[in-house]
Structure 1
Amino acid sequence: MNEELETDYLIVGAGAAGMAFADSLLTHSNASVTIVDRRHAPGGHWIDAYPYVRLHQPSSLYGVSSVPLGQNAIDGTGTNAGFYELAGVDEIRAYYSHVMQRHFLPGGRVRYFPNCDYLGDGHFISRLGQKSWTANVRRKVVDTTYTEGAVPGASAPPFEVADGVHCVPAGGIASITDRPERFVIIGAGKTALDACVWLLEQGVSASAIQWIRPRESWWLNRRFHQPNDLLPDFYQGMAVQLEAMAQATSIEDLVSRLEIEKFFLRIDPDIVPTMFRGAVISEAELELLRQIKDVIRLGHVRRIERDQIILEEGSVPTSEGTMHVHCASKGLSRPPLRPIFEPGLVTVQPFLWGFACYQFAMLGVVEATLDSDDKKNRLCPPIAYWDVNTDYLSAFLSGLANEHARAAYPDLAHWAKNTRLNPLCGIKLYRDLPIVADAHERIKRSGMAAVGNLVKLIRTKAA
């Protein structure tokens, strides 16, 4: 049975991007919205996440603009002590359910279809029953799946596993019943970091953990990514970045300057990282991770046998009493860039360096308040998700280059200055503090030089 329906916008995906975009449309227009999602509940990849995962940014900077997440509390214990709370997976799932059930649906302008596959041209079908729908979309389809990545908990390991080998995804270690002789963590990204930290926090000895890291990564220091009463440090971090960008003679020199200021962190001080995914950690987490000394750097895993792990550049022994933890996946996708705004279509992609939900929500405000796709695309040119050091420079430059242009549009500028998703929205409350006044002067001195030097460094690297 096929049912036809009318809607202004059809949003494909009820994850962070789709929910933030929908919230902005509802706030800044009178549009009707239909949300289609293949998962059973809103929340996107959080529905598939491992049970001990938390945000790596403060809760107050995540979610949809109109509904706060968390209590704006500062943690007093653990590796996040002294910083604003980080919502866990259960809290985030409950939050998105609350937004949908208590905020979106009661207003009568949103229709929500979980457990459905979108087939294109406004057509989607149920994964559970025999029903299908065809939406007459009056304005645009919003595709939030274009850059969707794979998470280890919901994807098969990218290597072969022989029969009899104990191999689980990251979430599997939270429910094992028989204590392994040791753990082998496979992966170099945020998931692997979380798994290692969680095991150490549970009392597992660092000597019982082997960590296979194909690449080393730079991490962002959480101290410089705090809102509210800790916002002065965030603002100081902006000054640190712009000064380094203005003065650096090479990308390597820039990265070195940021490490000296502890804006960038690395686990092994003897290995220069080549990976940059933008994940945020605390210095307390860093100290925990440095306890793990058994680190394998022989490339990616190709196959796990019962007695050995075969990698790209060699092999290491293993045993039947070892628990292998799959934390390897491609992560965020980097497909070819395309215009975000087109006739009848919005293809959600990143367009500035910064917090994800702030970007997604801003795209919704741009769509609701500006009158032409050409204008929207000039303000929001897409960029690829970051993976290597140069990507950090390109993304940061993109944000600097377009921030002034976006500020010329009153509705957009007013929203950006007031939304809780923008970490700098409250900086005016602290402008009289010496640390903020000092950072402001440093930013003024370095801003223009940073833009010019970033262009030079990126071009030199590409040559």
Structure 2
Amino acid sequence: MSDETLEADYLVVGAGAAGMAFADALLTHSDATVIIVDRRHAPGGHWIDAYPYVRLHQPSAFYGVSSVPLGRDVVDTAGANAGYYELAGADEIRAYFAHVMHDHFLPGGRVRYFPCTEYLGDDRFVSRFAQGAWKVRVRRKVVDTTWLEGTVPATSPPPFEVADGVCCVPAGDIARIARRPERFVVIGAGKTALDTCVWLLDQNVSAASIRWIKPREAWWMNRRFQQPLAQLPGSYRGMAIQLEAMAQATSIDDLFARLEAEEVFLRVDCDVAPSMFRGAVISEGELERLREIQDVVRLGHVRRIERDEIVLDEGRIPTSEASVHIHCSARGLARRPLRPIFEAGRVTVQPFLWGFVCYQFALLGAIEALLPNDEDKNRLCPPISYWDENADYLSAFLATLAHERARMAWPALAGWAKDNRLNPFGGIGHYRDAPDVIDARERIKRSAATAVGNLAQLLKTNAHEAKN
């Protein structure tokens, strides 16, 4: 089977949120032609595999691609998110990315899309189902969005052994179970586990019927400080609170304590010190629901589930064949070695600042289109690892502060970021005269420089203590 030869300026590997946001900005700010390949049957990345009750943990207004709004910009009036801007669910997000691809990308004639294909490297990809094989003559760059691709419970086996006869299902499958179990055993400490617990409670499952196995306790960000539009001044105040705490903190633990006292950070169990921080966002309503669950197991990771007991790192607990065990544990986002984002013939999509992922991936597309050379691009966007532990919050935030001024010194980028719908603070200029915004702006000015220096010192101290 010989390769069919194609030609394009860019070959984008992955049609998930990162690839779509990057391609959208690139198409908006250049005359580039783009080929997008993806192993899944439709655009949307991990959302194609997501459990049915998943929702964004950030407002819809901050998600997707720059040029196409997601949602209706309305405030929820019921449920755990009441009072805050809407959160799109899996069906809405999948429909949104299909709409972007088929109604915005493809009609212009500059994009070709190949679903159900596997990228092989060396500018080649093949069909997963048919005999098709293609070689692309890439005039500019291959854009790899898979370098840090993570795993989700829906598409990865549980990271523990399961004996025959044990009912163990991924999070999505509990919406389809045929019989009511005696007990639900939720395994995992991240957002999937949180969503699963909240969903079960919303289905009127008694909290006493839920056992939650948590290898680690997590910090969560308060959605109150992650709001767009009319509630943006409150989010801006949250930024001022964070910078003041960063300027004043005497240790990493002290920083988190200050932010918890201001309710910027939340934890489910106030008696357990969190060691995990992945930047996920919850509401105070969700927090109160989660605190209803009292049967919480903290014996490390699950190693094996037998018919009558669960074996963990630090002990064993009983279970039964009448229980359904819900696998909410997966590796999550990858933490591979970092490499320059912009190289000759290649863009390796990686995070480079703290915050909303779609904004920064769209920003990478704008930078690729608007800046003249890779040296300048990399100077503005040195990559960072995805956050997982408490100290990662400091290093990610420090990277944001250290390079934001340099990025905004480029007029084209500053103009792009201003009022960009994905930029969490892009529209703050509309509220410049609001008293809360004036106060927050002054607090930020007083604290920002000191925060940069103190964050660097706290990280240095933490690294020294870890070595010893």
TM-score normalised over the length of structure 1: 1.00
CA distance in 2, matches of 1:129, 1:103: 27
CA contact (8 A) 2:185 2:325 kept: yes
Q: Report the equivalent of 2:367.
A: 366
Where in structure 2 are the equivalents of 1:55-74 lying within 5 Å?
A: 55-74=56-75
Q: Report the equivalent of 2:79.
A: 78
Q: Report the equivalent of 1:38.
A: 39
Gaps of at least 5 residues in structure 2 are none
Number of residues of Structure 1 aligned to a counterpart in Structure 2:
463
CA distance in 2, matches of 1:352, 1:345: 20
Q: Report the equivalent of 2:153.
A: 152
- Whether 2:341 is the aligned partner of 1:340: answer yes
CA distance in 1, matches of 2:73, 2:178: 36
Aligned-residue Cα RMSD (Å) equals 0.5
Q: Report the equivalent of 1:138.
A: 139
Letter in 1 for 2:130: G
Q: Report the equivalent of 1:91.
A: 92
CA distance in 2, matches of 1:426, 1:117: 39
Q: Report the equivalent of 1:204.
A: 205
Gaps of at least 5 residues in structure 1 are none
Where in structure 2 are the equivalents of 1:25-424 lying within 5 Å?
A: 25-424=26-425
C-alpha displacement at 1:7, in angstroms? 0.5
Q: Deviations over 1:59-99 (max 9, x none)?
A: 01000000000000100000000000000000000000000
Secondary structure of residue in 1 paired with 2:118: strand
Letter in 2 for 1:32: T
Letter in 2 for 1:285: E
Letter in 2 for 1:368: A
Secondary structure of residue in 1 paired with 2:57: coil
C-alpha displacement at 1:371, in angstroms? 1.1
Secondary structure of residue in 1 paired with 2:35: strand
C-alpha displacement at 1:207, in angstroms? 0.2
Secondary structure of residue in 1 paired with 2:211: strand
Letter in 1 for 2:240: A
Letter in 2 for 1:43: G
CA distance in 2, matches of 1:159, 1:250: 36
Secondary structure of residue in 2 paired with 1:78: coil
C-alpha displacement at 1:429, in angstroms? 1.3
CA distance in 2, matches of 1:69, 1:257: 34
Letter in 2 for 1:276: F
Q: Deviations over 1:307-328 (max 9, x none)?
A: 0000011110000100000000
CA distance in 2, matches of 1:371, 1:414: 17
Secondary structure of residue in 2 paired with 1:452: helix
Letter in 2 for 1:96: F
What is the percentage of aligned positions where both structures have the same residue?
A: 71
CA distance in 1, matches of 2:143, 2:39: 15
CA distance in 2, matches of 1:194, 1:247: 34
CA distance in 2, matches of 1:286, 1:123: 47
- Whether 2:23 is the aligned partner of 1:22: answer yes
TM-score normalised over the length of structure 2: 0.99
CA distance in 1, matches of 2:173, 2:116: 25
C-alpha displacement at 1:418, in angstroms? 2.2
Q: Deviations over 1:265-324 (max 9, x none)?
A: 000000010000000000000000000000000010000000000001111000010000
CA contact (8 A) 2:420 2:427 kept: no
Runs of 4+ in 1 over 6 A off after TM superposition: none
C-alpha displacement at 1:423, in angstroms? 1.4
Q: Report the equivalent of 2:443.
A: 442
CA distance in 2, matches of 1:3, 1:274: 51
CA distance in 2, matches of 1:40, 1:230: 37
CA distance in 2, matches of 1:458, 1:361: 29
Q: Deviations over 1:221-245 (max 9, x none)?
A: 0000000000011000000000000
CA distance in 2, matches of 1:319, 1:249: 48
Q: Deviations over 1:390-444 (max 9, x none)?
A: 0000000000000000011111110111210001111111121211111111101
